[in-house]
Structure 1
Amino acid sequence: MDISEIIIAGDTPGVEWRLPVFRFKGASAAAPRTYIQAALHANELPGTALLHFLLEKLRQADEDGAILGDITIVPQANPIGAAQAHFGELQGRFDLGSRTNFNRDFPLISLGERDGLLDEPDRYSAIDRLKRHLLDMALGAELVLDLHCDDEGLQYAYIDEAFWPEAADLAAALDMEAVFLSDGQSSAFEEAVAHAWKHESEGERRTALPGRLSVTVELRGTRDVYPDIARKDSEGMFRFLAGRGVVASTGAGLPAFAGKAVPLDNIEMIRAPEAGAILFHRNIGDSVEAGELLATILVRPGVPGGTVEIRAPQDGLIVTRVSTRLARRRSDLMKIACAEPSRAARKPGALEA
């Protein structure tokens, strides 16, 4: 195992950021190369915990000569966001300088343009240089996993339709309860990787990418950072790598994926029609029927008729829920995976900002 650091100069005097990178050299040139990162949203730490325990397993596999494909691991992919605190609370989702989501605005390039990603670094801000380094490392692999988490959520993933159903092995290995089949229309990290692969040659746009995978894994919720959960997830990740031939293993094969796989158009984004305190009536993991009461908003507490009821627009599985109990008007409350498309209009791309 090799440990190195990428140093990114800050945008103010006397500041620089250090990005630790762990690399394992594979024994087989034919084995898939793998890139895994966590905490691109710096306050989402279940992936960092998973990679801590996965690195233990990979070090042992390295000693045993069982690493077949090159593996690159970045356990904390956003040192810039990790330093952002506002009134004592970590602000890891948005860059406070540009107000941009750390997982948006990745360069949408063809694979042939990869060699120029790190050219002329002085043209770019620190966060843009960080994004370019991350994308450059990822484009050197065939399997790319970006580990995130939701607010409160089940284990699920965003997977481009170009990788499905081949990617069902990852969903099974991590015991996912749902997969959201994305349309590849945003500038998020995993979709920027897939964009480069789809446009490998000039004028080409591939719709299937066999043997490759770029995915956002949502490892439950922000508070689900526990050693037993992280160890279990790391074991699942190791089984996935073994199944793809990245590491040699004599363990049992993977079961079939038993969860829901639905396109983004089938996700009901439940939003608050008015501001107020939230009383949830249903939890993540619940299956609900159309018309069922999901939440009550206390718009004018203590006043007769001062509440608003929110009901399920159709049958489905509650995949995520917010942890806050105060809603702003039109703020997100839940995501429900459904068998039918939502009647609500959805712009192409990511479900949330």
Structure 2
Amino acid sequence: METSDIIIGGDTAGIEWRVPVYRFKGSDKAAPSVYIQAALHANELPGTALLHFLLERLRKADAEGAIRGDITVIPQANPVGLAQFHFGEMEGRFDLGSRTNFNRDYPLIALAERETLLENFSHRSAADRLKRTLLHLALGHDLMLDLHCDDESLQYAYIDDAFWPEAADLAAALDMQAVFLSDGESTAFEEAVGHAFKHQGGDKLKSVPGRLSVTVELRGRRDVYPDMAKRDADGLWAFLAGRGVVTDPAHAAKAYTGSAIPLDNIEMVRAPEPGTVLFHRDIGESVKAGDLLATLITTPGAPNGAISVTAAHDGLIATRASARYARRGDDLMKIACHEATRKDRKPGTLED
């Protein structure tokens, strides 16, 4: 194993950011190479815990000569967000300097244009240099896994149609309960990598065998426990073994039994009014159209001071907000439905 640091100079004097990078050299040039990062949203830590335990296993495998493909691992990809505490709470999703999401505004380039990411590098902001450095590193590999989490959530992933159903092996290895089939039309990290894989220098490819770019949602932000992280690390190891990145004679492939759902089928349940949230249903539950999902106490103590929020479609509750007060329009739930929930959804991500 080789260890190094990505060093990003700050935008003010005396500031410097360091990102530890772990690399394993594979023994077989024909084996797939893989890039794995976690905590791009710095306050999403299940992936950091997972990679802590996966690295233990990879070091052992390296000593035993069981690493076939090159592996690059970054357990904590965003030191800028990690240092952003506002009134005692970490603000790891948005850059306080630019007010942009750390997982947005990645350049959409063809794979052949990879080196252009580093042009005019010193003139860019620290956050932009971090983004471009990570993207440049990821595009040097065949497989890219970006480990995130949701608020309160099932285990699921965003996977571009171009990588499905080949990527069902990852969904099975990590015991995902759902896969959201994305359209590849945003500037998120995973979709920027996917864009490059699909635009390798010529026309857009509809499928890219042997390549993968995926956002893995490792349940909710509070789901950071040793047994859970070790189990997820075992699942990721099984994926690597199945793809031939590592050697494991005991590996046995599993079939994916969950759903693969287009983003057009995701019902975003939002608060119609501000108020205190009383949830009646939990993640993992199946609901029918008309079922009561939550009560919003809009005017505490007043007659008729509460309103009901109901499901518009049949489906599976995939995520739920952890906050118990909602502003008007705040997301309360994502429901994975059996049919399209709206026909006017714009391409791109479900949330900012």
Q: TM-score range by the shorter chain?
A: over 0.9
- CA deviation after TM superposition for structure 1 residue 42, in Å: 0.1
Matches within 5 A, 1:146-165: 146-165=146-165
- CA deviation after TM superposition for structure 1 residue 306, in Å: 1.3
Q: Which amino acid aligns with 2:308?
A: E
- CA deviation after TM superposition for structure 1 residue 344, in Å: 6.4
Q: Which amino acid aligns with 1:118?
A: L
TM-score by length of 2: 0.99
Distance 1:346 1:277 in 2: 28
- CA deviation after TM superposition for structure 1 residue 126, in Å: 0.3
* Residues 1:74 and 2:74 are matched in the alignment: yes
- CA deviation after TM superposition for structure 1 residue 112, in Å: 1.1
Q: Deviations over 1:296-318 (max 9, x none)?
A: 00011111111110111111000
| Comparing 131-140 and 248-257, the one that deviates more | 248-257
Distance 1:21 1:343 in 2: 42
1:267 aligned partner = 266
1:95 aligned partner = 95
Unaligned runs of 5+ in 1: none
Q: Which amino acid aligns with 2:231?
A: K
Partner SS state of residue 260, structure 2 = strand
Matches within 5 A, 1:93-132: 93-132=93-132
- CA deviation after TM superposition for structure 1 residue 255, in Å: 1.6
Distance 1:258 1:250 in 2: 24
Unaligned runs of 5+ in 2: none
Distance 1:123 1:337 in 2: 43
- CA deviation after TM superposition for structure 1 residue 252, in Å: 3.4
Q: Which amino acid aligns with 2:204?
A: R
| Comparing 244-253 and 176-185, the one that deviates more | 244-253
Q: After the TM superposition, list the runs of 4 or more consecutive aligned residues in structure 1 that deviate by more than 3 angstroms.
A: none
Q: Which amino acid aligns with 1:64?
A: E
Partner SS state of residue 289, structure 2 = coil
Q: Deviations over 1:294-351 (max 9, x none)?
A: 0000011111111110111111000000000000001000000011000363211000
- CA deviation after TM superposition for structure 1 residue 195, in Å: 0.6
2:242–2:251 CA contact under 8 A, matched in 1: no
Distance 1:121 1:260 in 2: 42
Q: Deviations over 1:26-78 (max 9, x none)?
A: 00000000000000000000000000000000000000100000000000000
Q: Which amino acid aligns with 2:209?
A: P
1:306 aligned partner = 305
2:241–2:251 CA contact under 8 A, matched in 1: no
| Comparing 162-171 and 337-346, the one that deviates more | 337-346
- CA deviation after TM superposition for structure 1 residue 118, in Å: 1.6
Give the percent of matched residue pairs that are identical in Structure 1 and Structure 2.
68
Partner SS state of residue 252, structure 1 = coil
1:321 aligned partner = 320
Distance 2:347 2:234 in 1: 35
| Comparing 253-262 and 56-65, the one that deviates more | 253-262
Distance 2:297 2:168 in 1: 41
Distance 2:118 2:343 in 1: 41
Distance 1:201 1:18 in 2: 32
Distance 2:250 2:296 in 1: 49
Matches within 5 A, 1:120-269: 120-202=120-202, 204-269=203-268
Q: Deviations over 1:90-149 (max 9, x none)?
A: 000000010000000001111111122223212210000000110011001111000000
Q: Deviations over 1:241-296 (max 9, x none)?
A: 00000000012312211111100000000000000000000000000111000000
Distance 2:158 2:76 in 1: 20
2:296 aligned partner = 297
Distance 1:88 1:10 in 2: 22
Q: Which amino acid aligns with 1:319?
A: A
